[in-house]
Amino acid sequence: MSAREPFGARLAAAMDDAGPMCAGIDPHPGVLADWGLPDDATGVRELGLRVVEALTGAVAAVKPQAAFFERHGSAGVAALEEVLAASHAAGLLTVLDAKRGDIGSTMAAYADAYLRDGSPLAADALTVSPYLGFGALDPAVTAALESGRGLFVLCLTSNPEGPSVQHARRGAGASTVTVAAQIAAAAARLNEGAAPLGSIGLVVGATVGDAVRATGTDLADVNGPLLAPGVGAQGAGARELATVFAGAGRAVLATSSRAILAAGPDREALRAAAREASAQARAALRG
């Protein structure tokens, strides 16, 4: 067992302090250009480090999107390692958005890469995909719980293509159950008894409209954090957060990337945009 407090407890404390907002670190080519940075590994490194420096204390967590670092090969991955290390040094929680998922034996290697003390790519939490079966995530669940880290399991994603898989039903007659509801129930079982919040969270987009009700997904009983992408560039705002997460608001960590980064590169403007997004999320989810 780890000396570190469980991720759920650390995240709950960070959200109480800074508000329920996570800033995404997504160095798109266009964002790098707007910041006057090159579209290479030095550019993504610089953007990531500036975000961490500017937003420590203003948001509960940062969420580097692995894809934008991997685009630049090994130098980009080295930049991601530096951004993670700077966040840890600053005491800022990290959610690495890499959406890993594979057969159990390979999942164990992903767990080793992202959820093990001493690994250069270790984050406080990792996004994972349950579409090889929730049970295939077991090595990551074990590694996360043993090391005081967390997972966010894709449940109802923010993109329009998600429902074709996530709303699918199994069973017959009145006893059908959706894929999303099964994922939420599996997470709830892993979080049973945890306080103030378990460490096995879900990804539920702020853009999903009526999908929580329509799929019979019980968010109120998950007892784990709910990562809510879709705020800002994908069109969701305070109203959508309040509606989608009614009854479960205290567990929600809203996340926004492009809309916050658009305020940069000026440090004070970036910090002000993040603080404003955080205040709006707090009012919508905890007001």
Ligand X SMILES: O=c1ccn([C@@H]2O[C@H](COP(=O)(O)O)[C@@H](O)[C@H]2O)c(=O)[nH]1
Q: Are strands 169-170 and 177-178 parallel, antiparallel or unpaired?
A: antiparallel
255, 19 contact by CB (below 8 A):
no
In single-letter form, the type of residue at position 133 comes to G
Query: Quick check: 215 binds ligand X (CB under 6 A)?
Result: no
Q: Which of 257, 280, 284, 285 binds ligand X (CB under 6 A)?
A: 257
Give the relative orientation of helices 73-90 and 41-55 as an angle to the nearest 10 degrees: 10
Pick the catalytic residue from 28, 99, 100, 167.
99
60, 17 contact by CB (below 8 A):
yes
Query: Quick check: 232 binds ligand X (CB under 6 A)?
Result: yes
- Rounded to a whole number of angstroms, the minimum distance from the CB of residue 23 to ligand X is 9
Number of residues that bind ligand X (CB under 6 A): 18
- Rounded to a whole number of angstroms, the minimum distance from the CB of residue 186 to ligand X is 18
Nearer to ligand X, 77 or 108 (CB): 77
- Rounded to a whole number of angstroms, the minimum distance from the CB of residue 283 to ligand X is 19
Distance CA 66, CA 130 (A): 18
> Which helix H or strand E contains 204, and what residues bound it?
strand 200-204
Q: Find the part of the chain contacting ligand X (CB under 6 A) among 35-43, 157-165, 188-196, 279-287.
A: 157-165
Q: Find the part of the chain contacting ligand X (CB under 6 A) among 73-81, 136-144, 227-235, 274-282.
A: 227-235
Query: Quick check: 166 binds ligand X (CB under 6 A)?
Result: no
Query: Quick check: 158 binds ligand X (CB under 6 A)?
Result: yes
Q: Find the part of the chain contacting ligand X (CB under 6 A) among 69-77, 108-116, 212-220, 229-237.
A: 229-237
- Rounded to a whole number of angstroms, the minimum distance from the CB of residue 74 to ligand X is 21
Tokens read off for 5: 């407090």
Nearer to ligand X, 158 or 278 (CB): 158
51, 270 contact by CB (below 8 A):
yes
In DSSP terms, which residues pair with 65 in a beta bridge? 97
**Closest alpha carbon to 261 in 89, 46, 80:** 46
Does residue 63 have an active-site annotation?
A: no
Q: Which of 24, 48, 139, 148 binds ligand X (CB under 6 A)?
A: 24
Nearer to ligand X, 111 or 202 (CB): 202
> Which helix H or strand E contains 100, and what residues bound it?
strand 93-100
Distance CA 125, CA 92 (A): 12
Query: Quick check: 205 binds ligand X (CB under 6 A)?
Result: yes
Distance CA 217, CA 211 (A): 8
Report the interface residues with ligand X, using CB under 6 A: 24, 26, 65, 97, 157-159, 203, 205, 229-230, 232-234, 255-258
Catalytic residues: 99
